[in-house]
Each structure stands twice: as structure tokens, then as C-alpha cells.
Amino acid sequence: MADAIEIAARVRSGSVTAVDIVEQHLAAIAKREPEIHAFNLVLAEQARARAHEVDAMVAAGRDPGPLAGVPIALKDNMCTRGVPTTCSSKILAGWKPPYDATVVSKLAAAGAVVIGKTNLDEFAMGSSTENSAFGPTRNPHDITRVPGGSSGGSAAAVSAGFASLGLGSDTGGSIRQPAALCGVVGVKPTYGYVSRYGLIAFASSLDQIGPFANSVADAALLLDVIGGHDPMDSTSIPLTHPALLDVVGQGAEGLRVGRITDLPDGADPDVTERLELAFDALRAAGATIVDVQVPAFEFGLTAYYLIGPAEASSNLARYDGVRYGLRVDAADTNAMYGVTRAAGFGDEVKRRIMLGTYALSAGYYDAYYGKALKVRRLIHDEFERAYQRADVLLTPTSPSVAFPFGAKGDNPLAMYLCDVYTIPANLTGHPGMSVPFGTGAADLPVGVQVLAGTLCEPQMFRAAAALERALS
């Protein structure tokens, strides 16, 4: 399948039709979707109708936009008007949002074609897409292994050629980790760079929407489309962002690339080997490698698994069987709440709600949640100091390549450790992205993570594009 930039250019010029592009992708879905299960819902007829609209605009001499005719897969926690939005949970059975998320509206204005809603760990809680109420998604590189999570469906859809682009959400690594395991580019922008209006919340101070793509340039184009201030989101940054597509060709010359000397151990040897080669590649491209320290990096996991569940326990209280979604009848209202939530939520969601409720409870708030917020601030300040010495930092994205199904499911802590390198960027609000950088064990993809300071996406994309070129 062609890259998104190429597809859009060809559709806008009239050398290919959006209908033909959509049919090619639907054929790819028909061939492999039964074994991969990237989607909760394939929107075949709606995609065809949308493609006809794009072609009609081209025929009339109008420009459909920078993503003209490009098929895109949406994680199924983004509201789509009149289209089921499930968060891969039974609790939202039958719910169709009455409005579109801001990112969905921006995609429509840019000429994109939504081809389906993708599978995820229920309410975005997981690192393997094994926690979906609708069954797991499989890694297109090896269907005996996980695609990562929680945005595993979107990562797998882009990797398998079902969609040229995808959108996911990243609360603790849920875009970057599956991008690494599926061998695609995944970006978590600065918190507030992309509107969260219409994103069904997991942890509101951590969630951020971002792109999946097969190239750094495609990811830049998609982020250019969906980024920007939105008055509907009170956390949206009221700034005009630079065009990232303009910087990807600038090279790494002069960039200061930080090596974190006190990075937590835990990455497999094949992953650390690829990371060292990434440092070599950027040095060869004209960057300077500098050593930095972030001592509090190792506390990120602990702080996250108090703050994230605490916010989740508050956000998920709205699913009570009264206003929308699943309702299980019972003798009285309180009993109905209990049986509805017991039937509607999966084990991992229940686990995190209980963790969060405990951390917020009287007598424990200061000891757990309050202390986690102090640690979050400490981590933020240490990264800020690191960014005074370096423009970007490099780390592994995931400690390992894709692991087999069931390998970590019985050990929540082992699963949580999958996010040890990605979580700090969510706590700080800084941007981060995963770039495919060769293969490791079993010839499976390895991703290198590029981190940068607040609104330093241009430097991050320059480094990522240089890594991409080093492999070409």
C-alpha cells in the first residue's frame, strides 16, 4: 500500500480515485482481518460513500484537503456520530454518540476516509489488547503474538495495510508501545497539542490522541491535520503549531541527543543493541550525543499506577446503567449499579477502579495519591533539566519485542512493566514517539523512542526522520 502523502497527492491530481483506494484497502481487510481482528467495526459502505464524495469534489475542481481519499482507522474510544463507540467494553453496548470528536471532524475536513473503528484494551487499560470484551487483536508480523496496547487495533491496522493511517490514544504508552511491536511510527504529542474533546476518558491529565503511520512524514502530516487549539477542550493549548511536515527533511545536524545514563534496567539485549545503533546513526547524521541524568525516571511506573487508576475511578463512575449503555435490572437502584458494573466491566478495568478508589479514599489520599502527585512533579522537573542539555532523548520504546499471547496475562505487574519507558512522558506532558529501527528476537520489529520537551515536536520529528533515513 502507498504512503498517505502519495495517496492524497494522486487523489487530488485525479490520477487515481478515492473509490479505488478504498476498495484496495477493503480487499486487504477482507483477506487478513479474520485472523488479525484489528477492527471492532469495519465501515465499508460509509467509507465507499465518503470516497465518492471526495471524488466528486476533485471532479468539480475543488480540493478535498491534505488527506484526500486516505483511509484511516480510529481507535474505538473516539466518538463518531451515529456510529457505535464501545471502548471495547460491554458497558457501552448499543451506545451511538450524538456528536463527533474534534479529531474526527478535522479528519473529515481534510478529506480523509474513516474505514473502521479499531479494537483496544477495554477503556484503554492494557499493554497487549488482550483485555478487549470482543477478543484480542493479533500482531500482523506473527499472529501468535500480541500487537501491544492499548491501541493495538490501530497499530495492527496500519501495519497490516488495512489503513494508511490510524489514530490512537496514549495514557501511559498506548500509542508508542504498540507502534514499536507492530513496526510502525506512533506519536504522543505534547499534552494539549491535540484536542481531547470526544475522546472517552481514562485518565484526563494523561490521555492524548496521536497518529500511527508507516512513515515519519505521514505521521507529521496527520499531526498537522489534527493538532491545534480547540475551545471545546479546556486543556487545549491556545497556540498555532508549526507545520511538522516542513521539518522532517531538515536532518539531525546540530541536534543534541541525550543518553539517559541512569535509565531503568529491564530492556532485552536485542532492544538495547538497536538503541545503541540508533545513537550511532544520529551521530553519523551530524548530531551530538550528550549524557544526561533523570534519577526519578524509575519512579514513573509507581506514580502512574496511582494517578491513572485514581482518575479512572472518577471518570468511570458515570457508567451506572442509568443514562446510556448496558443496564442490568435489579431490585433497587443501588443493586442495579452493582450488577450492571459487574457485568459490564472486565477484570482489568475493575482492578484499576479498585486501585484508584483505594488511593483516593479517606486516610490514604495523602499517603498514596498526594505523594504520587509530588513524584510526578519531581519527574517533570528532572526532565526539564535534562532538556536544558539535550534537544531530544533516546530510549527503548518497549523492553522487548512482541510477546506471545498469555505470557503476561496472569501477572499484572509484568504487564505494567511493558510501559516503563513510555510512562514518564505522560506524567510530564512532554511529546514522545516510537520509530521502527530494525528487528530483534524472532525477526520482530524493535522501536526506538524519541522524547522531547514541551512543544518541541519539530526537534523530535527531525531526529525521528534521521533515524528512518538511516535504515533506508
174 included as an active-site residue: yes
pLDDT of residue 1: 59
- Residue 167: CB partners within 8 Å, gap ≥ 6? 72, 73, 74, 75, 78, 103, 107, 154, 209, 210, 211, 212, 222, 226
Domain membership of residue 34 (yes or no) is: yes
CB 330 within 8 A of CB 339: yes
Assigned domain for 78 exists: yes
**Tens digits of pLDDT across the chain (472 residues):** 579 999 999 999 999 999 999 999 999 999 999 999 999 999 999 999 999 999 999 999 999 999 999 999 999 999 999 999 999 999 999 999 999 999 999 999 999 999 999 999 999 999 999 999 999 999 999 999 999 999 999 999 999 999 999 999 999 999 999 999 999 999 999 999 999 999 999 999 999 999 999 999 999 999 999 999 999 999 999 988 899 999 999 999 999 999 999 999 999 999 999 999 999 999 999 999 999 999 999 999 999 999 999 999 999 999 999 988 999 999 999 999 999 999 999 999 999 999 999 999 999 999 999 999 999 999 999 999 999 999 999 999 999 999 999 999 888 888 999 999 999 999 999 999 999 999 999 999 999 999 999 999 999 999 999 999 999 8
Q: Which amino acid is at 390?
A: A
Q: Which of 75, 117, 188, 408 is catalytic?
A: 75
d(C-alpha 222, C-alpha 98), whole Å: 25
Q: Is position 123 within any domain? A: yes
Instruction: Please name the residue ranges forming H helices in 205-251.
Output: 216-226
Q: Which of 105, 174, 313, 434 is catalytic?
A: 174
Secondary structure (DSSP) of 119-130: --SGGG--SSS-
In a domain? residue 346: no
Choosing from 88, 127, 132, 150, which is the catalytic residue? 150
| C-alpha distance from residue 90 to each of 36, 87, 192, 325 (Å) | 21, 9, 30, 8
Domain containing 71 — which CATH number?
Answer: 3.90.1300.10
Q: What's the grid cell of residue 185? A: 511510527
Contact 180, 150 (CB under 8 A): no
Which residues span the domain enclosing 70?
4-242
3-state SS, one letter per residue, for 347-393 = HHHHHHHHHHHHHHCCCCCHHHHHHHHHHHHHHHHHHHHHHHHCCEE
> 291, 254, 286, 284: which is closest to 389 by C-alpha?
291
Would 465 be classed as within a structural domain?
no
Backbone angles phi, psi at 389, to 5 degrees: -100, -25
Q: Round to whole Å and give the CA distance between 337 and 339.
A: 6
In a domain, 438, yes or no: no
pLDDT at 332: 96
Active site residue 75: yes
Q: Does 204 map to a domain? A: yes
The reported pLDDT for the residue numbered 413 is: 84
Strand partners, 392: 257, 452
Q: What are phi and psi of 227, to 5 degrees?
A: -75, 170
Q: In the chain, how long is the greatest CA-to-CA distance?
A: 70
On whether residue 396 sits in a domain, the answer given is: no
Residues 6+ apart with CB under 8 A from 325: 91, 92, 93, 94, 95, 319, 344
Q: How many domains is the chain built from? A: 1
- In this structure, what C-alpha cell is assigned to residue 98? 450524538
